[in-house]
Every structure is written in C-alpha cells, then in structure tokens.
A and B are shown apart, each in its own frame.
Chain A
C-alpha cells in the first residue's frame, strides 16, 4: 500500500515569511513528485513537479526532493495571504497517490 504522509496543519505564517511544507512517501520506486494547491471548494491545481534529487525553483516556489530519505518539500518565499490554501503532495509510479494535505494560513 503506497502511502504519502503530510502534517495536516494548520501551518500559520506571517505575510512575507517562508512557508515550509513537508511530505514523506513509502514507495521507494516512486519516480515523479507533485505539489498541488487546493483552495476551499475548488479542485486541485498543479504548482510544481520534480523528478530528480535536489532543488527546483519556480518563482516564489522551490520544490526539494531527497529520494534516499523519501522526502519531498515545498518552500514558499515571501508568503502572501493569497497563498492560504491546502497543499497536497502527490507521488507517482503510475496513478497519483495523494497525501491528505497541509492547510496553510498566511496572516496579513
């Protein structure tokens, strides 16, 4: 049974701070890793994907992958109130398996 674990939060950070979201996964064979953002009442939307160990940056977002530790993280720099949402980690070796998500609240 493939499992993806996330801290459910809520994670509260002040506006302008760095938000750090973490995810661990059980299947060592997983090859693709995704971060989705889901606003309340909306569908998940992709923020970033990462396939290789190391960091991948896209604007204010940085995804980090450590396959040896089976660990994926998402950093959000200069957090804005509009970043307040639930962030879902997803892992794939086939269909996406999702964590339950971490609720982020950015306080103005």
Chain B
C-alpha cells in the first residue's frame, strides 16, 4: 500500500485566497483525521471522519475551515478565505478503528502571505 497520500506537498497563497488540501487514506481504513501542526501549538486535531461521516469538528478553528469526505478514498480540507495565521503544516492520518495506530501522510506545508 502506498500509505496516506496528501497533495499538494507545498502551497503558497495570498491572503484571501481559497486553499484546498487533499488526502487519500490507506485503503480499508475507516477513520480519517485532519491535524494541523505549528511550533506554538503542536499537533492539533481539526476534524475526523468515520466511514466518511464527520464525527467531531470541534477542533476546526473558524467557519473559514471546512472538510468533506465524499467517499472512502478521498477527503478535502478547505480554507476560504485564507489568512497568514493559517500558515502551518497540515497532516492527514488514517486508522483502522478509531483508537489504533494512526498512519500519517507526508503533510502539506501551507504558507499564506
């Protein structure tokens, strides 16, 4: 298996623009997580899905953030409009069962200027 695949790896955008991050989980995994990592706050859970259904989005910082999982093999995290404080590394992770080892994608480094 290729593991969790995220795209793009790097994204530089201007403030106010829409940003869409993409994730393909490991086949057969039923949970998908979106995390954000910064030096100040570490790895923060933004939202997670079980069988494509959003379970908890309490970590989503603002209404500017939204996430979807239209099928078992694809999820998106969208920021609209983006702001400089959104600059971070965004990780997608998947698990088989919600409390087992999480496998991480390579992350998307987002820079909003």
**Chain A residues packing against B (C-beta within 8 Å):** 31-32, 34, 42-46, 49, 88, 90, 92-101
Contact = CB atoms under 8 A, between A and B. Distances in A.
Contacts, number: 46
A94 B101 contact: no
Contacts of B48: 95
Given A42-B106, A90-B102, A96-B33, 7 more contacts: A34-B101, A43-B105, A46-B101, A88-B42, A94-B99, A96-B102, A98-B35
B33 A44 contact: no
A44 to B, nearest CB: 5
Contacts of A42: 106
Nearest to A51: B99
B43 interface: yes
A52 to B, nearest CB: 14
